[in-house]
Structure 1
Amino acid sequence: MSMVLFASVVRVGDGLPLSASTDYEQDRELQETKRHLKGLSKKLGQFPDRCTLKTGPYNVNFTSALGVGYLMVCTANYPSVLAFCFLDELQKEFIITYDPKRISSAVRPYSFIEFDTFIQKTKQRYNSPRSLSTKINLADMQTEIKLRPPYQLSPEDLRAINGFSVHTPSKYKGIAPTQMLEPVTLSGIVSCVLSILCGGLNLLRGVHAIESILQCYLFAYFSVWRNSKSFLAFALICLSNMYLYELRNMWQILFHVAVGAFMTLQIRLRQPLGKAPDYNV
Structure 2
Amino acid sequence: MSMVLFASVVRVRDGLPLSASTDYEQDKGLQETKKHLKGLSKKLSQFPDRCSLRSGLYNINDSMDRFISQTDVNMERHIDKVSSFLSFTSSLGVGYMMVCTENYPNVLAFSFLDELQREFIVTYDTKRINSALRPFSFIEFDNFIRKTKQRYNSPRSLSTKINLADMQTEIKLRPPYQLSAEDIGSINGFSQHKQSKYKGIAPNQMLEAVTLSGIVACILSVLCGALNLLRGVHAIESVLQNEDEDFNYVIAFFLGTAACLYQCYLFVYFSVWRNIKSFLAFAMICLCNMYLYELRNMWQILFHVTVGAFITLQIHLRRPQGKAPDYNV
156-165 or 222-231: which moved more? 156-165
- Distance in 2 separating the partners of 1:259 and 1:173: 37
Task: Work out whether residues 217 and 311 of structure 2, in 8 Å CA contact, stay in contact via their aligned partners in 1.
Answer: yes
Is the aligned partner of 1:121 residue 2:151?
A: yes
Is the aligned partner of 1:19 residue 2:21?
A: yes
- Distance in 1 separating the partners of 2:199 and 2:281: 21
TM-score scaled to structure 2, two decimals?
A: 0.56
- Distance in 2 separating the partners of 1:176 and 1:227: 24
Task: Work out whether residues 51 and 86 of structure 2, in 8 Å CA contact, stay in contact via their aligned partners in 1.
Answer: yes
Alignment CA distance shift 1:111-1:194 (3 Å): closer
Is the aligned partner of 1:179 residue 2:176?
A: no
Q: Which consecutive residues of structure 2, in runs of 5 or more, have no partner in the other structure?
A: 57-82, 233-252
Give the C-alpha shift of residue 270 in structure 1. Answer: 1.4
SS in 2 for 1:178: coil
1:158 alignment partner, one of 184, 208, 213: 184
Q: Which consecutive residues of structure 1, in runs of 5 or more, have no partner in the other structure?
A: none
Is the aligned partner of 1:61 residue 2:86?
A: yes
What is the Cα-based RMSD across aligned positions, in Å? 5.1
2:97 alignment partner, one of 64, 67, 71: 71
Task: Work out whether residues 39 and 188 of structure 2, in 8 Å CA contact, stay in contact via their aligned partners in 1.
Answer: no
SS in 2 for 1:211: helix
Q: Percent identity?
A: 50
Alignment CA distance shift 1:163-1:211 (3 Å): same
The equivalent residue for 1:47 is 44
The equivalent residue for 2:7 is 8
Question: What whole-Å deviation, never above 9, does each CA across 1:221-255 have from its counterpart, x for those lacking one?
Answer: 23455444433432332233133221112232122
161-170 or 9-18: which moved more? 161-170
SS in 1 for 2:21: strand
Give the C-alpha shift of residue 170 in structure 1. Answer: 11
Alignment CA distance shift 1:62-1:35 (3 Å): farther
Task: Work out whether residues 4 and 126 of structure 1, in 8 Å CA contact, stay in contact via their aligned partners in 2.
Answer: no
Give the C-alpha shift of residue 37 in structure 1. Answer: 3.2
Task: Indicate the structure (1 or 2) with the bigger Cα radius of gyration.
Answer: 2
1:189 alignment partner, one of 215, 228, 241: 215
Number of equivalent positions: 264
The equivalent residue for 1:222 is 270
Give the C-alpha shift of residue 11 in structure 1. Answer: 6.2
Give the C-alpha shift of residue 153 in structure 1. Answer: 6.0
TM-score scaled to structure 1, two decimals?
A: 0.64
Task: Work out whether residues 116 and 145 of structure 2, in 8 Å CA contact, stay in contact via their aligned partners in 1.
Answer: no
Question: What whole-Å deviation, never above 9, does each CA across 1:68-107 have from its counterpart, x for those lacking one?
Answer: 7532135499557x64442121233356679989xx7979
- Distance in 2 separating the partners of 1:132 and 1:106: 29
Task: Work out whether residues 18 and 135 of structure 2, in 8 Å CA contact, stay in contact via their aligned partners in 1.
Answer: no
The one-letter code matched in structure 1 to 2:219 is V
